[in-house]
Structure 1
């Protein structure tokens, strides 16, 4: 497991990695992430103090600085963990498709599914993450950029390289309802894979070279 999000999920499920693979510091940082999520779930993201997370782990605040220099560093890791999990799932779905049109459809559907599943599993935690995301513009931009790079080769194949950038913008704009977590939380009851697939197929038809 090379991605931080994958490590967090495995550790939370009871996986006990060898310290030769993961340092004690890395494991402790993951414990901080899990404890922080517990607090976010409880208070909806209204407050997250490094001292509170340390106390939940039975650690002094001064000792917590060995793992995170400040609250912002912990929040940044929380955001990157969440984003990494989504990106892993989307990458796997795209790679599993052999044709570019199938890859574009998979990109839209898996992004929606990943975020809907997180919302359905724990709405309180999902909304707490959204509250934190309001102060993490750079992390959000990196996430959006990485998702874009996952699908760029397929789009370029459909459109030709010179038209790829405009086609990517069109794809992102047309499918934002199915990918933006704020919109997913607001319109979850009306979202469906059928709607997302229909939009994806319409965009593929619009951007494909004839």
Structure 2
């Protein structure tokens, strides 16, 4: 490839292909340069180090993972249905990645282990999406008045059993879908505004 045609996007695409074929052990600047047919110096002009290249690859992958979640979080769907849809989508995305593409997921997990800052950005973005939905629900009156940021963190933590890869060994157990649905019902019930019971009239003496 002509160096003048080399762009960050082309480098990242090549890096992802190298990762997919050979795993994280081959995702070095030299390996990617060889795949592109250029010198490693050409790659370094766009990415200062192997760490920078790997972080960029991981960041791109995580952005694609959360893109459908972004669409749900900013939709005009009623907040209760939107929150249920968002949490279900997060669960489905993680299940598809972990169970459907185990080798590829393991590769990206290896990158994530050395990129805490990138992973932290990703989690903060997810929390921001939940916060957006909760705040919309409070504003519309569908949810009771709560601290949207604190509630978002509580919801994320409460549902981690169903989306944290470390719990994947439980995802195919009987009753998993029912347990998830029950948790969503409980969370939404907890956010529903409470109404005071009607006052009873005093009986005539």
Structure number with greater Rg is: 2
Mapped contact 1:105–1:197 kept (Cα < 8 A): no
In structure 2, the CA distance between the partners of 1:29 and 1:110, relative to structure 1 (3 Å rule), is same
Residue 50 (structure 1) shift: 0.7
CA distance in 2, matches of 1:188, 1:74: 33
CA distance in 1, matches of 2:132, 2:123: 16
The aligned residue for residue 50 of structure 1 is 29
**Cα RMSD (Å):** 2.5
Where structure 2 has 5 or more consecutive residues not aligned to the other structure, the ranges are: 195-205
In structure 2, the CA distance between the partners of 1:48 and 1:182, relative to structure 1 (3 Å rule), is farther
The aligned residue for residue 202 of structure 2 is none
In structure 2, the CA distance between the partners of 1:96 and 1:153, relative to structure 1 (3 Å rule), is closer
Alignment of 1:32-71 (within 5 A): 32-71=11-50
Find the partner of 2:101 among 105, 119, 122: 122
In structure 2, the CA distance between the partners of 1:208 and 1:111, relative to structure 1 (3 Å rule), is same
* 1:166 maps to 2:150: yes
Which structure has more relative contact order (CA 8 Å, sep 6+)? It is 1
TM-score, normalised with respect to structure 1? 0.76
Mapped contact 1:94–1:106 kept (Cα < 8 A): no
In structure 2, the CA distance between the partners of 1:94 and 1:166, relative to structure 1 (3 Å rule), is closer
Find the partner of 1:180 among 164, 168, 174: 164
Alignment of 1:50-199 (within 5 A): 50-96=29-75, 98-156=77-135, 157=138, 158-161=143-146, 163-184=147-168, 186-190=169-173, 194-199=178-183
Tell me the matched-pair count: 184
Partner-residue secondary structure (3-state), 1:107: helix
Where structure 1 has 5 or more consecutive residues not aligned to the other structure, the ranges are: 1-22
TM-score, normalised with respect to structure 2? 0.77
